[in-house]
Structure 1
Amino acid sequence: MASLATHLSAFLFFVPIGVRRLLCSSSLYLKNPSFFKSKPWYFSSPKWKNLDLYILSIALPIASFTQIFIFLSISGHPTYRFSFFQQSAALFLFWILIIFFVLHESLDHFLFNESFVFIYAAIAFLVEYSVIGVGITGLGTAVYGLLAQLTLVCAASCLVLSVKPTAFFAEFVLSIALVFKGTWFFQAGLCLYTDAFALKGCNKMLLLPGSPNADVHCELEEDGMRGMALVNLLFAVHAIGIVIASFVLFGLLSSYSSLRFGEASGPLLAQLESESTLMHSSQELEIE
């Protein structure tokens, strides 16, 4: 969390995944609500359409190793150094999650239990929650506190989907929460780490002299209070905009089937129909 570039990277990581999940899950649900079942990753055919997944499988370990390198090379307070190690550990957990997705087709169904993957994702989000805001004080705490709440929403949604993968509401909440996390990461980077978009009367985030913590210095107490109010207002604007955009997108997909993600009518739908048929058949045999 040390620069605008880091926050931009998080924006590029979370937003595309959230939008993809929203498109795929909504398309699948609208195709046939009775066959809906959330998937850890919505694969496309041919395989080159999953390019974003393979990019993440390369980018995440690089980011993790970069954090470790900074952790080993930086001089300063041990607590500050430890925060880099925590961040690299969180990135590593998400990389393992991406590896699960990449190996989806080659792993045995028992090994690639989808409930386990959702539980693992929830754990990864909880680890990320423990990292967010480490070494930040003052106004930055409020910004990262709101980000931590979004992370808890993602973890809770994953836990619900691990128990009930047919819960479309949990899938919808997870999708918009991922998009929200990405946009708020970028907003935090602009407000806390740039001079051009810094909160009025406050400077960008800087390390406190002789301390492992960083803070946003505001000239007057009123500037800090105004900055806090502006942070809450920006968060509300982000929330309203993303929720409205999500419902508009869902409405467009509902009205125009041509806009739906192709996977919803392809192999994924066929797989879910097959699973549903087998489930109904087994239930009928049990009744007989």
Structure 2
Amino acid sequence: MASLATNFCGFIFFFPIGLHRLLSSSSLYLHNPSHFRSKLWYLSDPNWKNLDLYLLLIALPIASFSEFFIFLSFSNHPTFRFSFFQQSFTLLAFWVLIILIIGLEYVNSLHVSDSFVYVFGGVVFLMEYDVMDKGVSGVADVVYGLLGGLTLVCASACFYLSVKPNAFFAEFFLCCGMVFKGTWFLQIGFSLYTDLFGLKGCKKISVLSLSPRIENVDVLCDLDEDSLRGIAMMELLFILHAIVVLILGLGFFGLVSWGGNLRGGDVKGPLLADLESTSMRLCDASEIEMG
């Protein structure tokens, strides 16, 4: 809850990860549904294709320290001082999650199970939910409350996958939840922090609004009717986002399914090849255990 740039960074973080997981998990599931098992990160060969994972390893601590410096700049405002400190700590927790994923994939001596990492991921999402609507009210409170609901969906999916990693529906909810969070972050940035795409009759949230005399920040609306109309508009936009994300998720699933039906011919991309080798390893391991 700082600026358009902050919300755009949230979009950059969640949207690509959600799409990547959705495409990869759908391909793996459709290749062999009975042997599907959710993966912490769907890695590709060669390693340079996993550049997004390594970029997060660098970007998250930078973002955390940036939030910490904002925390210092609002040291005279107890509400926002606590909020920015919690946001900085949450970003560090996501960074630790990335370190655990990389360590579990590349360091064989790391005695950590996939279930533990999923539980840790669910806890991190709960930490994010806890700081989601700190210091906001009115329209902003409703908007960030909807975002908090998406965060709870992601947390619940992580906890369920820690118990049943073969539950594709939980993986699907996690992927769509992350995609939805990304698009909603972007919508919040445009609607609350810009005048061009802002709500009719309301002014954007600016740094000048974060005064020590103001305990709860909200968009400044001329009339109560403008505030109520703004809440209704944001709820309508949320429903439209949900429809688009659902169509996108089912569309990706159908596209991967259609592409899988062509694998008898010459149509086979590198992603399908990577997932096929992963599925073959799972099948071999299953046959060894049954033997």
Q: Is the pair's TM-score, using the shorter chain for normalization, greater than 0.5?
A: yes
> 2:26 aligned with 1:26, yes or no?
yes
Name 2:263's counterpart in structure 1. Answer: none
SS in 1 for 2:99: helix
Contact 2:101 2:117 (C-alpha < 8 Å) held by counterparts = no
Deviations 1:121-154 (A, max 9, x none): 0000000000101111111000000000000000
1:231 to 234, 256, 259: 234
Letter in 2 for 1:35: H
Letter in 2 for 1:80: F
> 2:279 aligned with 1:276, yes or no?
no
Deviations 1:203-234 (A, max 9, x none): 11142651232111111111111111101100
User: 5+ unaligned residues in a row in structure 2: which ranges?
Assistant: 261-266
1:102-251 correspondence runs (5 A): 102-108=102-108, 111-206=111-206, 207=209, 209=211, 210-251=213-254
Contact 1:205 1:217 (C-alpha < 8 Å) held by counterparts = yes
Residue 36 of structure 1: CA displacement?
Answer: 0.4
Task: Return the alpha-carbon distance in structure 1 between the equivalents of residues 113 and 152 of structure 2.
Answer: 23
Task: Return the alpha-carbon distance in structure 1 between the equivalents of residues 247 and 289 of structure 2.
Answer: 36
> 2:79 aligned with 1:83, yes or no?
no
Change (3 A) 1:59 1:208: closer
Contact 2:103 2:110 (C-alpha < 8 Å) held by counterparts = no
Residue 74 of structure 1: CA displacement?
Answer: 2.9
Identity score, percent: 53
Deviations 1:84-130 (A, max 9, x none): 10000110000001111222333337613000010000000000000
Task: Return the alpha-carbon distance in structure 2 between the equivalents of residues 62 and 88 of structure 1.
Answer: 10
Q: Which moved more, 1:23-32 or 1:102-111?
A: 102-111
Contact 2:191 2:199 (C-alpha < 8 Å) held by counterparts = yes
Task: Return the alpha-carbon distance in structure 2 between the equivalents of residues 270 and 64 of structure 1.
Answer: 40
SS in 2 for 1:166: coil
SS in 2 for 1:10: helix
SS in 2 for 1:103: helix
Residue 78 of structure 1: CA displacement?
Answer: 1.5
Q: Which moved more, 1:97-106 or 1:43-52?
A: 97-106
Name 1:38's counterpart in structure 2. Answer: 38
Task: Return the alpha-carbon distance in structure 2 between the equivalents of residues 248 and 219 of structure 1.
Answer: 42
Contact 1:76 1:212 (C-alpha < 8 Å) held by counterparts = no
Name 1:284's counterpart in structure 2. Answer: none
Q: Which moved more, 1:209-218 or 1:88-97?
A: 209-218
Task: Return the alpha-carbon distance in structure 1 between the equivalents of residues 89 and 120 of structure 2.
Answer: 14
Q: Which moved more, 1:102-111 or 1:201-210?
A: 102-111
TM-score by length of 1: 0.93
Task: Return the alpha-carbon distance in structure 2 between the equivalents of residues 52 and 186 of structure 1.
Answer: 20
SS in 2 for 1:214: coil
SS in 1 for 2:106: coil
Contact 1:67 1:88 (C-alpha < 8 Å) held by counterparts = yes
2:255 to 248, 252, 255: 252
Letter in 1 for 2:22: L
Name 2:275's counterpart in structure 1. Answer: 264
SS in 1 for 2:218: strand
Deviations 1:218-274 (A, max 9, x none): 1111111111110110000000011011111111111112477332112x2233223
Residue 161 of structure 1: CA displacement?
Answer: 0.4
CA RMSD between the two structures = 1.5
TM-score by length of 2: 0.92
Name 2:8's counterpart in structure 1. Answer: 8
SS in 2 for 1:186: helix
User: 5+ unaligned residues in a row in structure 1: which ranges?
Assistant: 282-288
SS in 2 for 1:213: coil
